[in-house]
Amino acid sequence: MYRQENNEILWAGRKVHCDFDTFERLGGGYARDRDHVFFWGWLKERIDVVSFRYLGGWYGVDKHSVYHNGNRFTKPSPETSEYLEHDFLRDGAQVFVGKKRIADADGSSFEPLNRNYARDASNAFYTSKTIKNCDLNSFRVLGDSLELYARDTRRVYYCGKIIKGADSQSFVVEGEGWARDKDHRYYDGKPDGQ
């Protein structure tokens, strides 16, 4: 976090070499002064300070490029990129998580479900990977926004992979990696004791 101490700006206790009077926090670790853009307190070269704006999450954009974690990436268009939430970005028909394009995603129907799972009209996804053969109509994330478990009417998933033998109908998340169904208790997607 940026903080002011006397007439200096600091990031994590480290001095940010900026113009104190024009310094402004933008969000997501981004900031700027009259001449520069910063990410986590580090000066980022070649970003157009006048057109730069914070999109959300770890994304920013200027008239030339989109930036993730302060680093330029060229695939999405700066004119049409839209931050969705949970580190997902849409650029027309394309969708990205972080800087990685989700190959099978349809931008017009894409919907983040939590920090890890998403879906569109045809597929469910775990980060950038398509979850094959899931029942999209019944697909649900279990637990909170950090949870790695999901299910449909036939299967249970951990990190987007099927948990073999898990009972979808009785499966519940207990938290902190733990879950259970009518037959087993699971930790990080594996039956307890394995």
Looking at residue 75, its pLDDT comes to: 84
Looking at residue 145, its pLDDT comes to: 63
Please give the structure tokens belonging to residue 14: 């480290």
CA distance 186 to 174: 9
Given 70, 90, 106, which residue is the final one in a domain? 70
Q: Are residues 122 and 174 in the same domain?
A: no
Q: Are residues 145 and 111 in the same domain?
A: no
Q: Is the pLDDT of residue 194 over 80?
A: no
Total of domains in the chain: 3
CA distance 177 to 13: 33
**Predicted confidence (pLDDT) per residue in 104-150, tens digit:** 999 999 999 999 999 999 999 999 999 999 999 999 999 876 789 99
Q: Are residues 25 and 63 in the same domain?
A: yes
Q: What angle do CA 156, 159, 160 make, to 5 degrees?
A: 60
Q: Are residues 79 and 65 in the same domain?
A: no
Q: Are residues 5 and 65 in the same domain?
A: yes
Given 18, 37, 70, which residue is the final one in a domain? 70
Q: Are residues 141 and 187 in the same domain?
A: yes
Q: Go through 26-56 and write b for each residue having 16 or more CB atoms within 10 A of its CB, e for each that does not.
A: bebbbbbbeebbbbbbeebeebeeeebebbb
> Residue 23 sits in which domain range?
1-70
